[in-house]
Structure 1
Amino acid sequence: MLFDDTTTRARYFGVVSGAAGISAAAGPLIGGLITSYVSWRASFLLQVVIVAAIAWLGRGIVDPPLPARRPAFDWLGAVLSALGLFLVVFGVLQSGAYGWGTATQDYAIGGTVIVPAGGVSPMWIYVGLGVVVLALFAAVAWTREKNGRTPLVSVRLFANLTSNLGLLTQNLQWLVLQGAFFVISVFLQQVRGFSAIQTGLLLMPATIGLLLSSAAAPRMARRHSQRRLIRFGFFVTTVGLALLLALGGTRPSIWSFVPGLFLMGLGVGIMLTASVNLVQSAWPEEVQGDISGVSRSVSNLGSSLGVAVAGSLVAGAIPGGGQYFSALVIVGSFAVLGWIAALLIPRRTTRS
């Protein structure tokens, strides 16, 4: 079913985004319960069961009729896009062992030193290779489209300024959400000594904030523009992270984490639906499936980068100690970057 008006889109996107955000927020609690009472291996087994259940339930989804002539799948584009994104994320992960600037130790492959200590960090080598592969992927997609063949992703989907800025805010939202959760979870368990279950319960205020703001998405869409909601969401999220830094590091009480976590969840919930709505509304109905796939991929990339960046910082990419505080500050800087991107979104959404 297609929805043309912004309010109706917001209602259904609110359900989808809210479910995704709540799942991300509730994951540590569920994982903590399984890890504590069963084993950490069982948590991976549960994911297999969930995927199987989704595949079984998906049988009831009614798809639109397929075209008489199905386009050939772009296998080269699929390989290049997957390889490029892998190299970028893998490169960020290397910063935990070798640093962000210069290599803190020799980087060797098969006993051969590729980068000596003091040279450029291997992180930038992998990230650079990833960017080159992604550029090659874009060239292949453009060539296929020019020759009348169907690419994996049409390069025309990146020709709309409003959509591009919306995709950037989506990426940063998930980066901030997953990155902050990672840092906070590790801090609570490694520094404060909380169990996995206690950590999951302590993150519940963020889940509640996500639930409340997602439920209010249709009402907010009627009263405010999407760009205003995205800006306000990033602002509230930044305030929440600031409260976590101000209260969580100085007061031993678990209640000191509640205000910051609640505001962070509230802010993310406000902007999740608005960003998706903004991106989808910038395109006509005939490309909704394509832009929806791009939107979901960008969000997943943000989640991966959030965990990779936060994990590398906590693992020691920041010298001199204080890595938890510094990691949360850096994650918060991405929220500020998202707010700046939201300021650049045009007032009027023009469809391509």
Structure 2
Amino acid sequence: MVAPAAAVHGHRMTTTPTAPAAVRGRERLVLAVLLTASFTLAVDFSILNVALPVIGAEVGFALSGLQWIATSFALCAAGFTLLFGRVADIAGRRRVFLAGVALLGVSSLAGGLAADPVVLVAARVAQGLATAAVTPAALALLTTSFPDGPRRERALGLNGALMAAGFTTGAILGGLLTDLLTWRWAFFVNVAVAVGVLAVAPLVLAESRPARRPRLDVPGAVTVTAGLLAVVFGLTSAGEHAWADWRAWGGLLAGAVLLAAFLLIESRVAAPLVPVRILRRRTVAWGNLAGVLAFATETSLVFVLTIYLQEVFGLSPLAAGLSFAVLGLGTVLGGVLGPRLIARLGDPARAVALGLTVQAAATLLLMLLGASRDGLPLLLIATFVGGVANLVAIVGFMVTATSGLPDGEQGLAAGLATMSQQIGITLGIPVMSAVLGAAAGDAATLRTAIAVNAALCLITAVAVWLTLVRPGRARAVVSDRVG
């Protein structure tokens, strides 16, 4: 029996009896270029984490300042994503993509050669800005290069797999480069990738922009960017210090005020950065919320298990990083299976709900871990299954949040989806840090954090089912009766 493939028409989902189509010749080149850039940027989120103590000693960072190597990157990557997604709609997605890749190459070269903290942090800021420019532009180029349907779902599946696997790969690659060569190669690898992408991309990527260029909503751009920066800063401060710290609640409060002002502006300006009608779409609003939590739960679980492997099992940082290779394989498999599962289920929202439910079950299995290394096989099996399920949910989120929109709004939809990804990656670790508190090395406290993680997965799955799957089923029943 041939599995039905999902096709989106406005708000309605219909099914056609086709299997996921193969990606064609030129499309393979487009996919290779876009996925190479996206994977490299995903790796950058975690590639320096293992090497932070070594970098601090060599470059001259105080211990309290090491966090800014990661925080400066995350702030810019999350805070400027929505703005650059809209700029890509205006200036051209290929143009913004190429400019971002060039900035990535230059900033990575500067970071690899940095001899003092100021230059290194400046390089990480520029890398974050490059990520904010390239990621939504690449996603918009991908969604406009592949027609809505099975081929786009397959492309989004591969993109989701590599983006999620990049976070885990970064931890492994960072440990290997630091041990075998030097942490500076974590930057220099990006230079080689940027040169290769810039050599090939102009030959295979066609320019993509709406027929009528939208105007840039400057007040909206300023408030949403400042609001997102404040929220990410507040969350990061909560993880580094405590939720009661003034930097944490001050950042979150300022972010809430700025984002409320942004929504007010968007409801009144003639050419809003984010049209309110898009945010009113259930697929966009709930799809992106699911995306935030899908990324947050998986990246925060990696953080918790990294502590478990080192503090409870007594593994070295490199051995702990290598243990997540199984999780990486699971995410790649999930990215391949995701589009097929969407085709079989006929609705990407069902894939989100199913993926998060299985992820919750796999995470709950980790509650059985004790203090002995005998639990390592269980950890590897559970993280593999959870990785597969998480990527199924991520692929479903990407398809849900970007389908049924005209090409002129794909940059915006891609910016929203990418922002959800960046916020999720940035949000997860501070939340888990707050749960762990001072007893980070205690096995019982770590199991509590694992339980919280599983609960978030299950709550999100239920929310997606109630807001997207059940209403979709009701509409389909009504449509069938009318027909």
| The two structures share one fold, judged by TM-score above 0.5 | yes
| 5+ residue gaps, structure 2 | 1-144, 476-483
Verify the 8 A CA contact 1:243 1:259 in the aligned structure 2: no
How far has the Cα of 1:170 moved from its partner? 0.8
Letter in 2 for 1:267: A
Verify the 8 A CA contact 1:162 1:282 in the aligned structure 2: no
Q: Structure 2 vs 1, CA of residues 66 and 267 (structure 1 numbering), >3 Å: closer, same or farther?
A: closer
1:138 — aligned with what? 263
Task: Give the alignment partner of residue 161 of structure 2, picking from 9, 14, 18.
Answer: 18
Verify the 8 A CA contact 1:236 1:266 in the aligned structure 2: no
Verify the 8 A CA contact 1:163 1:282 in the aligned structure 2: no
Aligned equivalents of 1:171, 1:231: Cα separation in 2: 14
Letter in 2 for 1:234: L
How far has the Cα of 1:205 moved from its partner? 1.6
Which deviations, in whole Å up to 9, do the C-alpha atoms of 1:22-55 show, x marking residues without a partner? 2122221111111222344543454565456555
1:236 — aligned with what? 358
Aligned equivalents of 2:421, 2:276: Cα separation in 1: 18
Does 1:215 find its partner at 2:336? Answer: yes
Residue correspondence of structure 1 range 194-209 to structure 2 within 5 A: 194-209=315-330
Q: SS of the counterpart of 2:400?
A: helix
How far has the Cα of 1:72 moved from its partner? 4.1
Q: Structure 2 vs 1, CA of residues 49 and 138 (structure 1 numbering), >3 Å: closer, same or farther?
A: farther
How far has the Cα of 1:63 moved from its partner? 0.9
Aligned equivalents of 1:94, 1:64: Cα separation in 2: 39
2:273 — aligned with what? 152
Aligned equivalents of 1:305, 1:30: Cα separation in 2: 23
Aligned equivalents of 1:83, 1:48: Cα separation in 2: 30
How far has the Cα of 1:237 moved from its partner? 0.7
Residue correspondence of structure 1 range 1-352 to structure 2 within 5 A: 1-5=145-149, 7-47=150-190, 50=193, 54=197, 57-60=200-203, 61-64=205-208, 67=211, 70-96=213-239, 99-100=242-243, 103=244, 123-145=248-270, 150-224=271-345, 225-247=347-369, 249=371, 251-314=373-436, 316=438, 322-344=444-466, 345-347=468-470, 348=472
Q: Structure 2 vs 1, CA of residues 211 and 248 (structure 1 numbering), >3 Å: closer, same or farther?
A: farther
**TM-align CA RMSD:** 2.9
Verify the 8 A CA contact 2:236 2:248 in the aligned structure 1: yes
Verify the 8 A CA contact 2:239 2:429 in the aligned structure 1: no
How far has the Cα of 1:159 moved from its partner? 0.9
Aligned equivalents of 1:44, 1:143: Cα separation in 2: 43
| 5+ residue gaps, structure 1 | 108-120
Letter in 2 for 1:175: A
Higher relative contact order (CA 8 A, sep 6+): 1
Aligned equivalents of 2:425, 2:352: Cα separation in 1: 18
Q: SS of the counterpart of 1:14?
A: helix
Q: SS of the counterpart of 1:216?
A: helix
Q: Structure 2 vs 1, CA of residues 319 and 212 (structure 1 numbering), >3 Å: closer, same or farther?
A: closer
52-61 or 7-16, which moves further after superposition?
A: 52-61
1:111 — aligned with what? none
Determine what percentage of the aligned residue pairs are the same residue: 25
TM norm structure 2 = 0.61
Aligned equivalents of 2:217, 2:151: Cα separation in 1: 34
TM norm structure 1 = 0.81
Equivalent residue pairs, number:
326
Aligned equivalents of 1:302, 1:289: Cα separation in 2: 20
Q: Structure 2 vs 1, CA of residues 13 and 191 (structure 1 numbering), >3 Å: closer, same or farther?
A: same
Q: Structure 2 vs 1, CA of residues 287 and 66 (structure 1 numbering), >3 Å: closer, same or farther?
A: closer
Which deviations, in whole Å up to 9, do the C-alpha atoms of 1:169-222 show, x marking residues without a partner? 111100011111111123323433322331222112211211222212332122
278-287 or 127-136, which moves further after superposition?
A: 278-287
Aligned equivalents of 1:9, 1:93: Cα separation in 2: 34
Verify the 8 A CA contact 1:178 1:306 in the aligned structure 2: yes
